[in-house]
Amino acid sequence: MTVKSDNAVLNGIYNSDIAYVLHPLTIRHLAREWLKEDTPNFDYGGFVVGEKEETAVLLIKSEGVLAGKPFFEAIFKELDCMVHWEDIQEGSFIKPIKAVATVSGKVRQILLAERVALNIITRASGIATAAKRLRTIVEDLGWKGEVAGTRKTTPGFRMVEKYALLVGGVSTHRHDLSSMIMLKDNHIWTAGSITKAVKDAKVVGGFSLKVEVECRSLEDAREAASAGSDVVMLDNFSPDALSKTAAALKAEFPHLIIEASGGVTEHNIAQFCDPNVDVISLSRLTQGYDVVDFSLKIRKEGIDPRNLPVNITTS
């Protein structure tokens, strides 16, 4: 399946503006913590190279969607390095090998930030690439619902992963436990019933938070909707069972948001694109995703920064 290269708009959001969701102080804090983690004491390599001014080129070496520019910039900014991007927008699909940016500054500082910045951009771009592929699949089918990630994110790395989902054109789902009230089996078993769990959730959530209930049957979903749940998640339903259950629920509760989750992959998502399903969520987007390969090379006269494979021949 070929990823579309229409880079101007993703779900009505201009790529150049997506970074506005990120708080500048939060990005700065993350950049500092990542750099401190990577160099907790002496910078031995820095002693070797010193503080000569150099320029490095950022190369994309496998095809994918570019994501993570604000984090990449913030890391180098903390070390007084300047990043200059080529005319490539966040969310652009790029074929390798291509130079996408240059970084200028004291060489010791560039190398301090190199691996940290690459770790971020490779992972963010990997998520955005997978998200864009899924978005393309459902759009080609004419399905009007939303593909979403889940809260199954990497501890300490959630903001980057959720941001990358947006760049790829899918929904982030709830950002954390405070963003929406999701009542799963453990909540319901402990509360005693779906109705009681929803009622108690409404007391603390008030009018401003949606309540979602994980359901394993049509009866559970009907109880959740009748109790006032805004969203029901039909968990681990086969495509056929999902279609029949979603149709019955929409007929009875037209404004109910229906989410399908469990067992969804890039290869079978088309089977879940039912007209009565509003959201399809899957953890694969933030768990076990492939990365996009980037490298950062100091620019030197006569040296090819692409670092092509070495072929050894014997006589």
**Residues labelled catalytic:** 152
* N-term to C-term CA, the chain: 43
Here the tokens at position 20 are 């506005």
Segment (H or E) for 105? strand 98-106
Q: To the nearest 10°, the Cα dihedral for 168, 170, 173, 179?
A: 70
Separation between Cα atoms, residue 104 and residue 121, nearest integer Å: 18
Q: Is 143 strand, coil or helix?
A: coil
Tabulate helix, strand, coil % of the chain (nearest 5): 40, 20, 40
Q: What string of DSSP letters covers 16-44? A: HHHGGGS-HHHHHHHHHHHHHHH-SS--H
Cα 118 from chain centroid (whole Å): 16
Separation between Cα atoms, residue 59 and residue 307, nearest integer Å: 10
Nearest to 264 by CA among 140, 132, 125, 147: 147
Residues with Cβ within 8 Å of 244's Cβ and at least 6 positions away in sequence, in order, are: none
Task: Write the single-letter amino acid at 178.
Answer: S
Task: Write the single-letter amino acid at 152.
Answer: K
Task: Write the single-letter amino acid at 1.
Answer: M
